[in-house]
């Protein structure tokens, strides 16, 4: 009986090692695999145009029972990410975005939107669900990213790549 158990255990270990080897060889191409490069998340591009002083304001982004909270910098555009569990469902439900100015007890922005997540493949049979949103003063919280938000983000990235020299 001991020999049968040992042989079964060895065969089980061999099967696991073989499965890992097959997975590794199937994913040995330059494509990201096994979840590399894809994460379940909600991202909001917040265009601060139209608001006065939001430096130090607190924000909260919530969805699927998870929240992220932090403070804003005074900048033209801010990207806020909320990581979600890997097993999140595509039908996430309501995403809520709030911004409360420094020293205030009530939010200046309190917006929500029902969101369905989009699946991103990792190229090896796995993947993650995510969705990008935008918030603008005149458009609210939306899954349709306005071109001016995309342009502001592009300008922001350019400014980070080549910061202006101090005078």
What are the 10-residue block averages of pLDDT along the chain, 167 residues in total?
42 37 45 64 92 91 94 92 88 93 92 91 82 94 90 88 66
Query: What global pTM score does this model have?
Result: 0.72
Q: What is the pLDDT of residue 63?
A: 93
Q: What is the pLDDT of residue 161?
A: 85
Alpha-carbon distance of 74 to 145, in angstroms, equals 21
Q: What is the pLDDT of residue 9?
A: 39
Residue 83 contacts residue 67 (beta carbons within 8 Å): no
Q: What is the pLDDT of residue 4?
A: 43
Angle at 80 between CA 42 and CA 90, to 5 degrees: 5
Alpha-carbon distance of 27 to 124, in angstroms, equals 6
The DSSP-derived string for 75-87 is SSEEEEEEE--TT
């Amino acid at each position: 009986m001991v020999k049968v158990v040992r042989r079964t255990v060895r065969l089980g270990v061999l099967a696991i090692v073989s499965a890992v080897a097959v997975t590794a060889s199937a994913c040995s191409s330059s494509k990201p695999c096994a979840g590399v490069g894809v994460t379940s998340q909600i991202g909001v591009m917040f265009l601060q145009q139209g608001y006065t002083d939001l430096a130090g304001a607190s924000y909260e982004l919530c969805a699927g029972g998870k929240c992220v909270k932090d403070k804003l910098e005074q900048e033209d555009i801010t990207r806020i990410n909320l990581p979600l569990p890997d097993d999140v469902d595509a039908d996430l439900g309501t995403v809520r975005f709030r911004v409360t100015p420094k020293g205030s007890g009530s939010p200046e922005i309190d917006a929500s939107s029902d969101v369905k997540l989009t699946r991103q493949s990792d190229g090896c049979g796995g993947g993650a669900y995510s969705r990008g949103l935008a918030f603008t003063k005149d458009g609210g919280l939306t899954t349709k990213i306005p071109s001016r938000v995309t342009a502001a983000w592009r300008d922001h990235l350019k400014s980070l790549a080549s910061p202006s020299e101090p005078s």
